[in-house]
Homo-oligomer: A and B are copies of this chain.
Amino acid sequence: MQTSETSTQQESSGACPDDDLAFDVFSRNCPSRGTLEHVTGRWGSLTVGALHDTTFRFNELRRRVDGVSEKMLSQTLHALERDGLVQREAQPTNPPRVDYELTPLGHEVAERLLDLIHFLEGRMPEVLAARERYDEMREGLGSR
């Protein structure tokens, strides 16, 4: 089980938190880039978005985030928990019950993420129109 960049990551030339000018995502090896990827990743964004409204149990979340596999949801949840955005609450009952919810920090992230998501959803007609224009123009000057 690896968080995908813990092993891949190697230090190169300049780091980013070395000066007190803070964490710049544009630098290759800045840890903020990793967190950004957890949050904006394919399943991360949807998971955080879903948890903004309410807490979920594992399989509830799995149904809400349409298309995610057990493996990916588990992996995503671990990464978010490690970054302090998600809180895992396990109750030692039988059968076991585990609830996932956002931390306060997670909620602040979710707000910003949902703002982006809702904006995009609302502008999809424009996006779709742009796509058609783009695709049309391509067959016009056909290579092949």
Contact = CB atoms under 8 A, between A and B. Distances in A.
Interface residues of A, number: 53
Interface string A34-70: 0111011110011001100000000000001111000
- Copies of this protein in the assembly total 2
Tell me if A's interface is mostly helix, strand, loop or mixed: helix
A126 B82 CA distance: 11
22 contacts: A17-B124, A24-B121, A26-B64, A26-B65, A26-B66, A28-B67, A31-B124, A32-B120, A32-B121, A32-B124, A36-B116, A39-B116, A40-B41, A81-B134, A82-B131, A84-B127, A84-B134, A105-B123, A108-B119, A109-B120, A112-B112, A112-B119
